[in-house]
Structure 1
Amino acid sequence: MTGTPDLRPLIAAPHPDRAPLPPAAPAGPGVRLLRGVPYAELPGVRPLELDLWLPENAGADPLPLLFFVHGGAWRRGRREDMGYRMRGWTPGPFARIAASGFAVASADYRLSGEAVFPAPLDDLRDALAWIARRSGELGIDTARTVVWGESAGGHLAALLALADDTPAVSGAVVWYAPSDLTLDGDNPHSPEALLLGGAPATLAERAAQASPLHRVHPGAPPFLLMHGESDTLVDCDHSRRLAARLTEVGAPTRLRTVPGADHVWHGLPEAEVEDVFRTSLEWALRRVR
Protein backbone atom coordinates (compact mmCIF):
# COMPACT_ATOMS: atom_id res chain seq x y z
CA MET A 1 0.00 0.00 0.00
CA THR A 2 1.30 3.42 -0.97
CA GLY A 3 2.61 5.33 2.00
CA THR A 4 3.09 2.25 4.18
CA PRO A 5 6.45 2.50 5.93
CA ASP A 6 9.08 -0.18 5.35
CA LEU A 7 9.14 -2.06 8.65
CA ARG A 8 12.37 -3.94 8.00
CA PRO A 9 14.70 -1.21 9.32
CA LEU A 10 12.54 -0.95 12.44
CA ILE A 11 12.44 -4.70 13.06
CA ALA A 12 16.16 -5.31 12.56
CA ALA A 13 18.46 -5.08 15.55
CA PRO A 14 20.79 -2.05 15.57
CA HIS A 15 23.94 -2.52 13.52
CA PRO A 16 26.85 -3.69 15.70
CA ASP A 17 28.71 -0.46 15.01
CA ARG A 18 25.84 1.52 16.58
CA ALA A 19 24.22 -0.92 19.02
CA PRO A 20 24.44 0.06 22.70
CA LEU A 21 26.96 -1.90 24.68
CA PRO A 22 25.42 -4.33 27.18
CA PRO A 23 25.65 -3.50 30.87
CA ALA A 24 28.79 -4.71 32.57
CA ALA A 25 28.61 -7.33 35.31
CA PRO A 26 31.21 -8.25 37.96
CA ALA A 27 33.45 -11.09 36.80
CA GLY A 28 36.01 -11.43 39.58
CA PRO A 29 37.87 -9.09 41.89
CA GLY A 30 38.31 -5.76 40.13
CA VAL A 31 37.02 -7.04 36.77
CA ARG A 32 33.80 -6.38 34.86
CA LEU A 33 32.40 -8.38 31.93
CA LEU A 34 30.43 -7.28 28.88
CA ARG A 35 28.95 -10.57 27.66
CA GLY A 36 27.57 -11.30 24.21
CA VAL A 37 28.45 -8.09 22.38
CA PRO A 38 27.45 -8.41 18.67
CA TYR A 39 30.29 -7.50 16.35
CA ALA A 40 29.09 -8.70 12.91
CA GLU A 41 25.88 -9.44 11.04
CA LEU A 42 26.16 -11.96 8.20
CA PRO A 43 23.13 -13.00 6.13
CA GLY A 44 21.85 -16.43 7.11
CA VAL A 45 24.36 -16.85 9.94
CA ARG A 46 23.88 -16.65 13.71
CA PRO A 47 24.91 -13.29 15.17
CA LEU A 48 28.64 -13.26 15.83
CA GLU A 49 29.42 -12.03 19.33
CA LEU A 50 32.36 -11.43 21.61
CA ASP A 51 32.88 -11.11 25.35
CA LEU A 52 34.93 -8.31 26.89
CA TRP A 53 36.61 -8.46 30.29
CA LEU A 54 37.80 -5.06 31.53
CA PRO A 55 39.60 -3.96 34.70
CA GLU A 56 37.36 -1.94 37.01
CA ASN A 57 39.92 0.77 37.75
CA ALA A 58 41.84 1.09 34.52
CA GLY A 59 42.77 4.75 34.88
CA ALA A 60 42.77 7.35 32.12
CA ASP A 61 45.09 5.61 29.66
CA PRO A 62 43.64 3.20 27.06
CA LEU A 63 44.21 -0.48 27.82
CA PRO A 64 46.22 -2.92 25.72
CA LEU A 65 44.14 -5.68 24.14
CA LEU A 66 44.47 -9.43 24.62
CA PHE A 67 42.48 -11.07 21.83
CA PHE A 68 41.76 -14.73 22.56
CA VAL A 69 40.72 -17.41 20.02
CA HIS A 70 39.12 -20.60 21.33
CA GLY A 71 39.92 -24.09 20.13
CA GLY A 72 37.76 -27.07 19.17
CA ALA A 73 39.21 -28.50 15.93
CA TRP A 74 37.52 -25.62 14.03
CA ARG A 75 34.32 -27.69 14.47
CA ARG A 76 33.14 -26.82 17.98
CA GLY A 77 34.18 -24.79 21.00
CA ARG A 78 32.96 -21.76 22.90
CA ARG A 79 34.44 -18.32 23.24
CA GLU A 80 34.37 -18.42 27.07
CA ASP A 81 36.52 -21.57 27.19
CA MET A 82 40.32 -21.45 27.43
CA GLY A 83 40.61 -25.21 27.76
CA TYR A 84 39.36 -27.84 30.16
CA ARG A 85 42.28 -27.50 32.57
CA MET A 86 41.20 -23.93 33.36
CA ARG A 87 37.42 -24.39 33.55
CA GLY A 88 37.45 -24.75 37.32
CA TRP A 89 39.65 -21.76 38.07
CA THR A 90 38.26 -19.05 40.35
CA PRO A 91 38.70 -16.37 39.23
CA GLY A 92 38.76 -17.67 35.66
CA PRO A 93 41.68 -17.20 33.27
CA PHE A 94 40.17 -14.24 31.40
CA ALA A 95 39.40 -12.43 34.63
CA ARG A 96 43.01 -13.03 35.71
CA ILE A 97 44.32 -11.58 32.46
CA ALA A 98 42.07 -8.53 32.79
CA ALA A 99 43.17 -8.02 36.39
CA SER A 100 46.77 -7.81 35.10
CA GLY A 101 45.87 -4.73 33.03
CA PHE A 102 44.59 -6.05 29.69
CA ALA A 103 41.24 -5.61 28.07
CA VAL A 104 40.39 -9.17 27.06
CA ALA A 105 38.22 -10.01 24.06
CA SER A 106 37.17 -13.53 23.08
CA ALA A 107 35.14 -13.82 19.89
CA ASP A 108 32.88 -16.26 18.10
CA TYR A 109 33.83 -17.32 14.61
CA ARG A 110 32.11 -19.51 12.05
CA LEU A 111 32.87 -23.18 12.59
CA SER A 112 33.62 -25.65 9.81
CA GLY A 113 30.02 -26.89 9.78
CA GLU A 114 28.93 -23.34 8.93
CA ALA A 115 31.56 -22.15 6.45
CA VAL A 116 34.99 -23.20 5.19
CA PHE A 117 38.31 -21.37 5.34
CA PRO A 118 38.97 -18.44 5.18
CA ALA A 119 35.61 -17.69 6.87
CA PRO A 120 36.83 -18.09 10.48
CA LEU A 121 39.86 -15.91 9.82
CA ASP A 122 37.66 -13.28 8.17
CA ASP A 123 35.38 -13.29 11.21
CA LEU A 124 38.25 -12.75 13.64
CA ARG A 125 39.57 -9.89 11.53
CA ASP A 126 36.08 -8.37 11.63
CA ALA A 127 36.06 -8.68 15.42
CA LEU A 128 39.37 -6.86 15.67
CA ALA A 129 38.10 -4.18 13.28
CA TRP A 130 34.93 -3.73 15.37
CA ILE A 131 37.00 -3.28 18.53
CA ALA A 132 39.14 -0.70 16.73
CA ARG A 133 36.06 1.23 15.57
CA ARG A 134 34.65 1.37 19.10
CA SER A 135 37.96 1.58 20.91
CA GLY A 136 37.30 5.13 22.12
CA GLU A 137 34.22 4.26 24.15
CA LEU A 138 35.78 0.97 25.29
CA GLY A 139 39.05 2.60 26.39
CA ILE A 140 41.22 0.20 24.37
CA ASP A 141 44.48 0.90 22.55
CA THR A 142 44.34 -1.56 19.63
CA ALA A 143 47.86 -0.54 18.57
CA ARG A 144 48.95 -2.72 21.53
CA THR A 145 47.29 -6.04 20.75
CA VAL A 146 48.47 -9.54 21.60
CA VAL A 147 46.62 -12.49 20.07
CA TRP A 148 46.45 -15.74 22.04
CA GLY A 149 44.88 -19.02 21.03
CA GLU A 150 44.83 -22.69 21.94
CA SER A 151 44.76 -25.65 19.53
CA ALA A 152 42.67 -24.69 16.47
CA GLY A 153 42.38 -21.24 18.01
CA GLY A 154 46.16 -21.06 18.24
CA HIS A 155 46.32 -21.88 14.53
CA LEU A 156 43.92 -19.01 13.76
CA ALA A 157 45.74 -16.65 16.13
CA ALA A 158 49.01 -17.41 14.34
CA LEU A 159 47.38 -16.68 10.99
CA LEU A 160 46.02 -13.39 12.35
CA ALA A 161 49.50 -12.40 13.46
CA LEU A 162 51.02 -13.32 10.09
CA ALA A 163 48.33 -12.07 7.70
CA ASP A 164 49.28 -9.15 5.47
CA ASP A 165 45.77 -7.67 5.65
CA THR A 166 45.45 -7.70 9.44
CA PRO A 167 46.63 -4.67 11.47
CA ALA A 168 50.00 -5.38 13.03
CA VAL A 169 49.91 -7.08 16.42
CA SER A 170 52.45 -6.81 19.21
CA GLY A 171 52.81 -10.55 19.69
CA ALA A 172 51.18 -13.97 19.45
CA VAL A 173 50.84 -16.66 22.12
CA VAL A 174 50.17 -20.03 20.49
CA TRP A 175 49.40 -23.15 22.50
CA TYR A 176 49.71 -26.64 20.92
CA ALA A 177 48.48 -25.58 17.49
CA PRO A 178 48.84 -27.11 14.03
CA SER A 179 51.10 -25.04 11.81
CA ASP A 180 51.12 -27.02 8.54
CA LEU A 181 47.77 -28.23 7.20
CA THR A 182 49.38 -29.57 4.02
CA LEU A 183 50.56 -32.61 6.01
CA ASP A 184 47.07 -34.01 6.50
CA GLY A 185 46.98 -35.75 3.10
CA ASP A 186 43.91 -37.16 1.39
CA ASN A 187 41.57 -37.84 4.32
CA PRO A 188 38.32 -35.99 3.44
CA HIS A 189 36.90 -36.36 6.96
CA SER A 190 39.73 -34.95 9.08
CA PRO A 191 39.22 -31.69 10.98
CA GLU A 192 41.64 -30.05 8.54
CA ALA A 193 39.64 -31.25 5.54
CA LEU A 194 36.37 -30.04 7.06
CA LEU A 195 37.96 -26.63 7.64
CA LEU A 196 39.28 -26.41 4.08
CA GLY A 197 36.25 -27.87 2.31
CA GLY A 198 38.13 -30.91 1.04
CA ALA A 199 41.17 -33.09 1.64
CA PRO A 200 44.34 -30.98 1.85
CA ALA A 201 45.97 -33.09 -0.90
CA THR A 202 43.24 -31.97 -3.30
CA LEU A 203 43.33 -28.33 -2.16
CA ALA A 204 47.06 -27.77 -1.94
CA GLU A 205 46.99 -23.99 -2.47
CA ARG A 206 44.23 -23.44 0.09
CA ALA A 207 45.96 -25.74 2.58
CA ALA A 208 49.16 -23.71 2.23
CA GLN A 209 47.24 -20.42 2.65
CA ALA A 210 45.71 -21.86 5.82
CA SER A 211 49.08 -22.94 7.23
CA PRO A 212 51.00 -20.53 9.49
CA LEU A 213 54.24 -22.27 8.52
CA HIS A 214 53.70 -21.18 4.90
CA ARG A 215 52.67 -17.63 5.85
CA VAL A 216 55.83 -16.68 7.77
CA HIS A 217 57.52 -13.56 6.41
CA PRO A 218 60.25 -11.11 7.42
CA GLY A 219 58.81 -8.58 9.82
CA ALA A 220 56.58 -11.12 11.57
CA PRO A 221 55.73 -10.15 15.16
CA PRO A 222 57.16 -11.90 18.23
CA PHE A 223 55.80 -15.39 18.95
CA LEU A 224 55.58 -17.52 22.07
CA LEU A 225 54.95 -21.15 21.12
CA MET A 226 54.08 -23.65 23.87
CA HIS A 227 53.43 -27.32 23.17
CA GLY A 228 53.27 -30.57 25.10
CA GLU A 229 56.00 -33.02 24.12
CA SER A 230 53.55 -35.92 24.45
CA ASP A 231 50.74 -34.35 22.40
CA THR A 232 48.76 -37.16 20.75
CA LEU A 233 46.45 -34.89 18.71
CA VAL A 234 48.81 -32.25 17.30
CA ASP A 235 52.41 -33.38 17.14
CA CYS A 236 54.85 -31.10 18.94
CA ASP A 237 56.84 -30.93 15.71
CA HIS A 238 54.27 -28.42 14.38
CA SER A 239 55.51 -25.85 16.90
CA ARG A 240 59.14 -26.81 16.48
CA ARG A 241 58.97 -26.28 12.73
CA LEU A 242 57.10 -23.00 13.05
CA ALA A 243 59.62 -21.73 15.60
CA ALA A 244 62.50 -22.64 13.29
CA ARG A 245 60.89 -20.85 10.35
CA LEU A 246 60.12 -17.72 12.40
CA THR A 247 63.68 -17.64 13.71
CA GLU A 248 64.98 -18.04 10.17
CA VAL A 249 63.27 -14.79 9.07
CA GLY A 250 64.37 -12.91 12.19
CA ALA A 251 61.10 -12.85 14.15
CA PRO A 252 61.67 -12.84 17.93
CA THR A 253 60.54 -16.34 18.88
CA ARG A 254 60.40 -18.36 22.07
CA LEU A 255 59.55 -22.06 21.95
CA ARG A 256 58.79 -23.96 25.12
CA THR A 257 58.04 -27.66 24.83
CA VAL A 258 56.53 -29.16 27.99
CA PRO A 259 57.65 -32.68 29.01
CA GLY A 260 54.85 -35.06 29.96
CA ALA A 261 52.06 -32.88 28.58
CA ASP A 262 49.47 -34.15 26.10
CA HIS A 263 47.07 -31.93 24.16
CA VAL A 264 45.22 -29.28 26.22
CA TRP A 265 47.89 -29.80 28.93
CA HIS A 266 46.37 -33.18 29.80
CA GLY A 267 48.54 -35.10 32.25
CA LEU A 268 50.34 -32.00 33.49
CA PRO A 269 50.29 -31.33 37.25
CA GLU A 270 48.16 -28.37 38.23
CA ALA A 271 51.16 -26.34 39.39
CA GLU A 272 52.74 -26.71 35.95
CA VAL A 273 49.52 -25.67 34.19
CA GLU A 274 49.55 -22.56 36.37
CA ASP A 275 53.18 -21.96 35.39
CA VAL A 276 52.39 -22.29 31.66
CA PHE A 277 49.58 -19.77 32.04
CA ARG A 278 51.68 -17.37 34.14
CA THR A 279 54.60 -17.58 31.69
CA SER A 280 52.28 -16.83 28.77
CA LEU A 281 50.67 -13.86 30.52
CA GLU A 282 53.99 -12.37 31.59
CA TRP A 283 55.30 -12.71 28.03
CA ALA A 284 52.17 -10.99 26.67
CA LEU A 285 52.49 -8.13 29.17
CA ARG A 286 56.09 -7.52 28.11
CA ARG A 287 54.97 -7.11 24.51
CA VAL A 288 52.72 -4.13 25.37
CA ARG A 289 54.74 -2.34 28.03
Structure 2
Amino acid sequence: MSDQAQPAVPLPCRPPVVPVTRADGTRIFAGVSYALISGYRPLQLDVWVPPAASPPSLVVWIHGGAWLSGDRRYLPETLRPDQLFHALVGAGLAVATVDYRHAREAPFPAQLHDVKAALRYLRAYAAEFGVDATRVGAWGESAGGHLAALLALTADRPDLEGAVGMPGRAGTVDAVVDWYGVTDPDALPRLSPAAAASMQLADLPQDLLLAGADPATHDDAAPVRQVRPGAPPFLVLHGTADRLVPFAQSAALAAALRAVGAPAELVPVDGADHIFAGHADVDALVDRSVGFLVAALAGT
Protein backbone atom coordinates (compact mmCIF):
# COMPACT_ATOMS: atom_id res chain seq x y z
CA MET A 1 0.00 0.00 0.00
CA SER A 2 1.39 3.42 -0.92
CA ASP A 3 2.04 6.27 1.48
CA GLN A 4 -0.75 8.18 -0.21
CA ALA A 5 -3.20 5.41 0.64
CA GLN A 6 -2.20 5.48 4.33
CA PRO A 7 -3.41 8.76 5.83
CA ALA A 8 -1.08 10.31 8.35
CA VAL A 9 -2.30 11.01 11.88
CA PRO A 10 -1.26 14.33 13.47
CA LEU A 11 1.57 14.01 15.96
CA PRO A 12 1.72 15.82 19.28
CA CYS A 13 3.62 19.11 19.34
CA ARG A 14 6.34 17.73 21.60
CA PRO A 15 8.08 14.39 22.17
CA PRO A 16 5.38 12.29 23.87
CA VAL A 17 7.62 10.62 26.42
CA VAL A 18 9.52 11.69 29.53
CA PRO A 19 13.19 10.74 29.33
CA VAL A 20 14.82 8.34 31.74
CA THR A 21 18.03 9.74 33.20
CA ARG A 22 20.80 7.24 33.82
CA ALA A 23 23.33 7.47 36.64
CA ASP A 24 25.91 9.00 34.28
CA GLY A 25 23.49 11.77 33.30
CA THR A 26 22.54 10.33 29.91
CA ARG A 27 18.89 10.97 29.08
CA ILE A 28 17.05 8.33 27.03
CA PHE A 29 13.80 9.13 25.26
CA ALA A 30 12.42 5.66 24.48
CA GLY A 31 9.57 4.70 22.18
CA VAL A 32 8.95 8.10 20.58
CA SER A 33 6.48 7.82 17.69
CA TYR A 34 7.82 9.87 14.81
CA ALA A 35 5.12 8.86 12.32
CA LEU A 36 1.62 7.47 12.78
CA ILE A 37 -0.08 5.79 9.84
CA SER A 38 -3.73 4.80 10.00
CA GLY A 39 -4.11 1.03 10.36
CA TYR A 40 -0.41 0.49 10.96
CA ARG A 41 1.94 0.26 13.96
CA PRO A 42 3.55 3.53 15.04
CA LEU A 43 7.02 4.12 13.64
CA GLN A 44 9.26 4.79 16.60
CA LEU A 45 12.70 6.00 17.57
CA ASP A 46 14.79 6.26 20.73
CA VAL A 47 17.11 9.17 21.48
CA TRP A 48 20.15 8.94 23.76
CA VAL A 49 21.51 12.34 24.86
CA PRO A 50 24.76 12.65 26.83
CA PRO A 51 25.21 15.26 29.54
CA ALA A 52 26.82 18.29 27.94
CA ALA A 53 27.21 22.02 28.45
CA SER A 54 25.67 22.64 25.01
CA PRO A 55 23.42 20.50 22.79
CA PRO A 56 25.49 17.70 21.24
CA SER A 57 25.54 16.83 17.55
CA LEU A 58 23.31 13.96 16.50
CA VAL A 59 23.90 10.58 14.84
CA VAL A 60 21.01 8.62 13.31
CA TRP A 61 21.53 4.85 13.64
CA ILE A 62 19.69 2.64 11.10
CA HIS A 63 19.52 -1.09 11.82
CA GLY A 64 20.00 -3.90 9.34
CA GLY A 65 18.07 -7.09 8.72
CA ALA A 66 17.86 -7.55 4.93
CA TRP A 67 14.96 -5.05 4.87
CA LEU A 68 12.85 -7.89 6.33
CA SER A 69 13.57 -7.81 10.06
CA GLY A 70 15.53 -5.95 12.69
CA ASP A 71 14.71 -3.49 15.44
CA ARG A 72 16.06 -0.10 16.45
CA ARG A 73 17.02 -1.46 19.89
CA TYR A 74 19.15 -4.43 18.87
CA LEU A 75 22.62 -4.55 17.33
CA PRO A 76 24.27 -7.40 15.39
CA GLU A 77 25.38 -10.29 17.57
CA THR A 78 29.05 -9.46 16.93
CA LEU A 79 28.52 -6.39 19.15
CA ARG A 80 27.63 -6.13 22.80
CA PRO A 81 24.11 -4.94 23.65
CA ASP A 82 23.88 -1.16 23.22
CA GLN A 83 27.62 -0.99 22.44
CA LEU A 84 27.31 1.58 19.66
CA PHE A 85 24.93 3.77 21.62
CA HIS A 86 27.22 3.78 24.66
CA ALA A 87 30.23 4.51 22.44
CA LEU A 88 28.57 7.49 20.75
CA VAL A 89 27.26 8.95 24.01
CA GLY A 90 30.65 8.41 25.63
CA ALA A 91 32.21 10.42 22.80
CA GLY A 92 29.81 13.31 23.41
CA LEU A 93 27.39 12.61 20.56
CA ALA A 94 23.65 12.07 20.80
CA VAL A 95 22.19 9.12 18.92
CA ALA A 96 18.72 8.46 17.57
CA THR A 97 18.03 4.86 16.65
CA VAL A 98 15.06 4.45 14.31
CA ASP A 99 12.63 1.81 13.10
CA TYR A 100 11.27 1.70 9.56
CA ARG A 101 8.83 -0.42 7.58
CA HIS A 102 10.11 -3.78 6.37
CA ALA A 103 9.86 -4.93 2.79
CA ARG A 104 6.97 -7.33 3.41
CA GLU A 105 5.06 -4.42 4.95
CA ALA A 106 5.76 -1.98 2.13
CA PRO A 107 8.19 -2.02 -0.80
CA PHE A 108 10.82 0.59 -1.54
CA PRO A 109 10.88 3.60 -1.27
CA ALA A 110 8.82 3.27 1.95
CA GLN A 111 11.97 2.52 3.97
CA LEU A 112 13.71 5.68 2.74
CA HIS A 113 10.53 7.70 3.30
CA ASP A 114 10.54 6.50 6.90
CA VAL A 115 14.11 7.41 7.77
CA LYS A 116 13.59 10.82 6.18
CA ALA A 117 10.44 11.26 8.26
CA ALA A 118 12.48 10.38 11.35
CA LEU A 119 15.08 13.01 10.48
CA ARG A 120 12.38 15.63 9.90
CA TYR A 121 10.94 14.83 13.32
CA LEU A 122 14.32 15.00 15.04
CA ARG A 123 15.07 18.35 13.47
CA ALA A 124 11.64 19.75 14.39
CA TYR A 125 12.01 18.74 18.06
CA ALA A 126 15.76 19.17 18.48
CA ALA A 127 15.28 21.69 21.28
CA GLU A 128 12.96 19.39 23.20
CA PHE A 129 15.44 16.54 22.90
CA GLY A 130 18.34 18.85 23.72
CA VAL A 131 20.37 18.05 20.60
CA ASP A 132 22.01 20.06 17.83
CA ALA A 133 20.34 18.89 14.64
CA THR A 134 22.29 21.32 12.47
CA ARG A 135 25.11 18.73 12.43
CA VAL A 136 23.83 15.22 11.78
CA GLY A 137 25.57 11.99 10.92
CA ALA A 138 24.05 8.75 9.64
CA TRP A 139 25.36 5.29 10.54
CA GLY A 140 23.87 2.03 9.36
CA GLU A 141 24.74 -1.61 8.90
CA SER A 142 23.75 -3.87 5.99
CA ALA A 143 20.23 -2.80 4.93
CA GLY A 144 20.67 0.11 7.33
CA GLY A 145 23.92 1.07 5.60
CA HIS A 146 22.00 1.08 2.33
CA LEU A 147 19.43 3.47 3.82
CA ALA A 148 22.06 5.68 5.49
CA ALA A 149 23.80 6.12 2.14
CA LEU A 150 20.52 6.95 0.40
CA LEU A 151 19.59 9.40 3.16
CA ALA A 152 22.80 11.28 2.39
CA LEU A 153 22.71 11.01 -1.39
CA THR A 154 19.07 11.91 -2.07
CA ALA A 155 18.74 15.06 0.03
CA ASP A 156 18.01 17.02 -3.15
CA ARG A 157 15.15 14.71 -4.17
CA PRO A 158 11.80 16.11 -2.91
CA ASP A 159 10.08 13.25 -4.73
CA LEU A 160 11.70 10.84 -2.25
CA GLU A 161 10.56 12.60 0.94
CA GLY A 162 7.36 10.55 1.21
CA ALA A 163 4.03 11.46 2.78
CA VAL A 164 4.34 9.94 6.26
CA GLY A 165 5.16 11.84 9.42
CA MET A 166 5.83 15.54 9.52
CA PRO A 167 5.73 17.47 6.23
CA GLY A 168 8.73 19.31 4.87
CA ARG A 169 12.27 18.39 3.87
CA ALA A 170 14.58 16.17 5.91
CA GLY A 171 17.66 17.96 4.65
CA THR A 172 21.11 16.56 4.25
CA VAL A 173 23.41 14.77 6.65
CA ASP A 174 27.00 15.80 7.23
CA ALA A 175 28.74 12.42 7.42
CA VAL A 176 27.99 8.75 6.80
CA VAL A 177 29.36 5.56 8.31
CA ASP A 178 28.34 2.64 6.12
CA TRP A 179 28.98 -0.83 7.48
CA TYR A 180 28.79 -3.42 4.66
CA GLY A 181 25.72 -1.75 3.18
CA VAL A 182 24.04 -2.74 -0.08
CA THR A 183 24.89 -0.17 -2.75
CA ASP A 184 23.11 -1.80 -5.70
CA PRO A 185 20.33 -4.29 -4.91
CA ASP A 186 20.22 -5.41 -8.56
CA ALA A 187 23.86 -6.51 -8.35
CA LEU A 188 23.44 -8.70 -5.27
CA PRO A 189 24.15 -12.38 -5.89
CA ARG A 190 21.21 -14.70 -6.32
CA LEU A 191 21.05 -17.24 -3.51
CA SER A 192 20.83 -20.90 -4.33
CA PRO A 193 17.54 -22.61 -3.40
CA ALA A 194 19.36 -24.44 -0.59
CA ALA A 195 20.86 -21.23 0.80
CA ALA A 196 17.52 -19.45 0.62
CA ALA A 197 15.84 -22.35 2.40
CA SER A 198 18.47 -22.30 5.16
CA MET A 199 17.64 -18.62 5.73
CA GLN A 200 13.90 -19.39 5.65
CA LEU A 201 13.44 -17.18 2.62
CA ALA A 202 10.79 -18.04 0.07
CA ASP A 203 11.73 -14.84 -1.78
CA LEU A 204 15.01 -12.95 -1.92
CA PRO A 205 15.16 -9.76 0.14
CA GLN A 206 16.00 -7.58 -2.85
CA ASP A 207 13.03 -9.00 -4.77
CA LEU A 208 10.68 -8.18 -1.91
CA LEU A 209 12.20 -4.73 -1.48
CA LEU A 210 11.66 -3.89 -5.15
CA ALA A 211 8.43 -5.79 -5.76
CA GLY A 212 6.66 -4.19 -8.71
CA ALA A 213 9.30 -1.48 -9.07
CA ASP A 214 9.89 0.25 -12.39
CA PRO A 215 13.41 0.95 -13.73
CA ALA A 216 13.50 4.44 -12.22
CA THR A 217 12.73 3.02 -8.77
CA HIS A 218 15.49 0.44 -9.19
CA ASP A 219 17.87 3.36 -9.83
CA ASP A 220 16.53 5.23 -6.80
CA ALA A 221 17.20 2.18 -4.63
CA ALA A 222 20.89 1.99 -5.61
CA PRO A 223 23.12 4.43 -3.70
CA VAL A 224 25.91 3.89 -6.24
CA ARG A 225 23.58 5.36 -8.90
CA GLN A 226 22.63 8.36 -6.74
CA VAL A 227 26.14 9.72 -6.20
CA ARG A 228 26.40 13.43 -7.00
CA PRO A 229 29.02 16.14 -6.45
CA GLY A 230 28.73 17.64 -3.01
CA ALA A 231 28.11 14.35 -1.21
CA PRO A 232 29.16 14.35 2.45
CA PRO A 233 32.20 12.38 3.65
CA PHE A 234 31.75 8.61 3.87
CA LEU A 235 33.56 6.03 5.95
CA VAL A 236 32.81 2.60 4.48
CA LEU A 237 33.81 -0.60 6.30
CA HIS A 238 33.22 -4.01 4.72
CA GLY A 239 34.45 -7.55 5.29
CA THR A 240 36.44 -8.96 2.40
CA ALA A 241 34.84 -12.39 2.90
CA ASP A 242 31.23 -11.17 3.15
CA ARG A 243 29.02 -13.87 1.65
CA LEU A 244 25.74 -11.93 1.79
CA VAL A 245 26.78 -8.48 0.55
CA PRO A 246 29.96 -8.76 -1.52
CA PHE A 247 32.83 -6.41 -0.73
CA ALA A 248 32.58 -5.19 -4.33
CA GLN A 249 29.38 -3.36 -3.42
CA SER A 250 31.21 -1.02 -1.06
CA ALA A 251 34.21 -0.73 -3.38
CA ALA A 252 31.91 0.48 -6.16
CA LEU A 253 30.30 3.11 -3.93
CA ALA A 254 33.65 4.43 -2.69
CA ALA A 255 34.95 4.65 -6.26
CA ALA A 256 31.84 6.51 -7.41
CA LEU A 257 32.12 9.00 -4.55
CA ARG A 258 35.79 9.66 -5.22
CA ALA A 259 35.04 10.15 -8.92
CA VAL A 260 32.89 13.19 -8.07
CA GLY A 261 35.37 14.56 -5.54
CA ALA A 262 33.52 13.41 -2.41
CA PRO A 263 35.65 12.24 0.54
CA ALA A 264 35.30 8.48 0.81
CA GLU A 265 37.45 6.15 2.89
CA LEU A 266 37.03 2.43 2.19
CA VAL A 267 38.25 0.12 4.96
CA PRO A 268 38.54 -3.55 3.92
CA VAL A 269 38.12 -5.75 6.98
CA ASP A 270 40.35 -8.64 6.01
CA GLY A 271 38.71 -12.06 6.14
CA ALA A 272 35.52 -10.85 7.84
CA ASP A 273 32.12 -12.15 6.84
CA HIS A 274 28.84 -10.25 7.15
CA ILE A 275 28.40 -8.34 10.45
CA PHE A 276 32.23 -8.62 10.70
CA ALA A 277 31.91 -12.25 11.80
CA GLY A 278 35.33 -13.78 12.19
CA HIS A 279 37.10 -10.48 12.83
CA ALA A 280 39.16 -10.46 16.02
CA ASP A 281 38.73 -6.80 16.99
CA VAL A 282 35.27 -5.42 16.24
CA ASP A 283 35.77 -2.93 19.09
CA ALA A 284 38.48 -1.22 17.02
CA LEU A 285 36.04 -0.86 14.13
CA VAL A 286 33.53 0.75 16.47
CA ASP A 287 36.17 3.14 17.77
CA ARG A 288 37.25 4.08 14.26
CA SER A 289 33.66 4.76 13.23
CA VAL A 290 32.90 6.86 16.29
CA GLY A 291 36.11 8.83 15.86
CA PHE A 292 35.21 9.60 12.25
CA LEU A 293 31.80 10.91 13.29
CA VAL A 294 33.20 13.01 16.12
CA ALA A 295 35.66 14.69 13.74
CA ALA A 296 33.14 15.13 10.91
CA LEU A 297 30.38 16.55 13.08
CA ALA A 298 32.76 18.91 14.85
CA GLY A 299 33.62 20.27 11.42
CA THR A 300 37.28 19.37 11.80
TM-score (norm 2): 0.84
- The alpha carbon displacement at 1:206 in A equals 1.6
Distance 2:282 2:250 in 1: 18
Quote the sequence identity (%).
Answer: 40
Query: Higher relative contact order at CA 8 Å, sep ≥6: structure 1 or structure 2?
Result: 2
Q: What is the CA–CA distance in structure 1 between the aligned matches of 2:59 and 2:209, rounded to whole Å? A: 25
CA distance in 1, matches of 2:20, 2:130: 17
Question: In the aligned structure 1, how far is the partner of 2:80 from the partner of 2:130?
Answer: 28
2:34 maps to 39
Question: Which position in structure 2 is the counterpart of 1:3?
Answer: none
Q: Give the aligned residue type for 1:40.
A: A
Structure 2 counterpart of 1:222, which letter? P
1:129 CA drift (Å): 0.4
2:52 to 44, 51, 58: 58
2:149 equivalent in structure 1? 158
Q: Secondary structure at the match of 1:206?
A: helix
Residue 48 (structure 1) shift: 0.6
Partner residue of 1:209? 220
> What is the CA deviation profile of residues 173-223 of structure 1, one whole-angstrom value per residue up to 9, with x for unaligned ones?
00001101222489992101101114xxx7432211100000000111110
Matched with 1:101 is 92
What is the alpha-carbon distance in structure 1 between the residues aligned to residue 11 and residue 89 of structure 2? 23
1-structure distance, mates of 2:211, 2:21: 41
Task: Please report the RMSD computed on the Cα atoms of aligned residues, expressed in angstroms.
Answer: 2.0
| TM-score, normalised relative to structure 1 | 0.87
Counterpart amino acid of residue 228 in structure 1: G
Q: 2:178 aligns with which of 174, 178, 181?
A: 174
Alignment partner of 2:204 out of 186, 190, 205: 190
Residues 215-235 of structure 1: CA distance to partner in whole angstroms, max 9, x if unpaired?
Answer: 000111110000000101100
Q: State the structure with more CA Rg.
A: 1
2:123 maps to a residue whose letter is A
How many positions carry a matched residue from both structures? 267
Structure 1 residue 140 displacement after superposition:
1.6
1:274 aligned partner, one-letter code: D
Contact 1:31–1:95 (CA under 8 A) maintained in structure 2: no
Q: Which consecutive unaligned segments of at least 5 residues does structure 2 have?
A: 1-8, 158-169, 192-201
Separation in 1, partners of 2:46, 2:189: 36
